[in-house]
């Protein structure tokens, strides 16, 4: 069998490609190399350098592919508010191109990387998949649009699709300059240099931080499941405030960094906590890495790369 990972050199994509490599005869990585987190070098993994918005090249790359993991995207929420058309071009046009290529090549399963950003400021907690969609950014709009394309291609053509709504993913090789999704990497990067840890708002806002290997495993479970035309939360099922996070990282990094609070961002939700019961039921997902264990792994990573 052949698997293909769009954005397979990106932060989440590289972890998926590495994890699934023993399960498939060939793993193709489709990446334009604009946002490389790590190059995956394994005997059965090969790179096809192209952009998913190139419909012809994407369609050709999907030849004989059985399973597609679609992670390629513009992932910076703040950048999406500055350049919404760039975000739309990458995340909407790119996802439509992937759907079309999957349809034309009779792909057996398409697993889509969505985001809990679609919920915005949720009405109740923990957040389940039935919560209203209340996007606070163009990025969130584009991710929900991708989910709608997944549903449309299932209903129109019988394409087996599954959308995974990631909560706050963290782990090695995450780019610290992404101010929204990379808060843990940013904090570690600054803490190991005794630079200030900048918090937007009062720091009492909470996030459900999920370690990247748990997210990669969720993708593998989704691909092997019988579930189709569903949306599934992928988180840890626990919440941590940004103030708590900053103190944990300071202590773990033995850092003298100060903690500074600034103005809140308009695209930030106040609270986030995933209800993952649906993921447990549908794809047998069970997160393995708690926040303290994940931070310890990341501290070792930053210690090795300083």
Active-site residue list: 139
Alpha helices in 174-211 (DSSP H): 183-191
CA 110 to chain centre: 15
What 3-state DSSP class applies to 299?
helix
In 10 A of CB 155, how many CB atoms? 11
Query: Contact at 8 Å (CB) between 227 and 279?
Result: no
Query: Contact at 8 Å (CB) between 46 and 25?
Result: no
What 3-state DSSP class applies to 190?
helix
Q: Which two tokens stand for residue 158?
A: 């019988």
Q: Which residues, in sequence order, are bridge partners of residue 211?
A: 170
* 171 φψ region: left (φ > 0), alpha (ψ -120 to 50), beta (else): left
């Amino acid at each position: 069998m052949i698997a293909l990972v769009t954005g397979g050199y990106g932060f989440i994509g590289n972890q998926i490609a590495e994890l699934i490599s023993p399960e498939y005869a060939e793993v193709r990585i489709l990446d334009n190399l604009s946002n490389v987190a790590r190059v995956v070098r394994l005997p059965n993994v090969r790179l096809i350098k192209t952009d998913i918005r190139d419909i012809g090249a994407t369609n050709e790359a999907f030849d004989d592919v059985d399973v597609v993991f679609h992670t390629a995207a513009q992932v910076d929420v703040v950048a999406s508010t500055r350049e919404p058309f760039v975000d739309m071009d990458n995340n909407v046009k790119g996802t439509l191109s992937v759907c079309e290529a999957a349809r034309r090549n009779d792909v057996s399963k398409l697993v889509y990387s969505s985001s809990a950003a679609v919920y915005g400021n949720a009405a109740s907690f923990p957040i389940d998949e039935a919560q209203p969609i209340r996007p606070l950014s163009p990025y969130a709009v584009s991710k929900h649009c991708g989910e709608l394309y997944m549903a449309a291609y299932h209903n129109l053509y019988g394409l087996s699709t599954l959308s995974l709504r990631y909560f706050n993913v963290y782990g090695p090789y995450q780019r610290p300059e992404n101010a929204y999704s990379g808060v843990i990497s940013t904090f570690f990067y600054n803490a190991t240099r005794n630079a200030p840890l900048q918090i937007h708002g009062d720091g009492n806002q909470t996030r459900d931080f999920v370690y990247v290997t748990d997210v990669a495993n969720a993708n593998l479970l989704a691909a092997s499941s019988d579930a189709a035309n569903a949306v599934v939360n992928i988180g840890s099922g626990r919440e941590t405030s940004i103030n708590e996070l900053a103190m944990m990282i300071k202590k773990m990094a033995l850092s003298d960094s100060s903690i500074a609070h600034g103005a809140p961002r308009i695209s930030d939700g106040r609270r986030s906590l995933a209800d993952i019961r649906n993921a447990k039921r549908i794809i047998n997902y069970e997160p393995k890495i708690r926040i303290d264990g994940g931070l310890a792994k990341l501290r070792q990573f930053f210690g090795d790369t300083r």
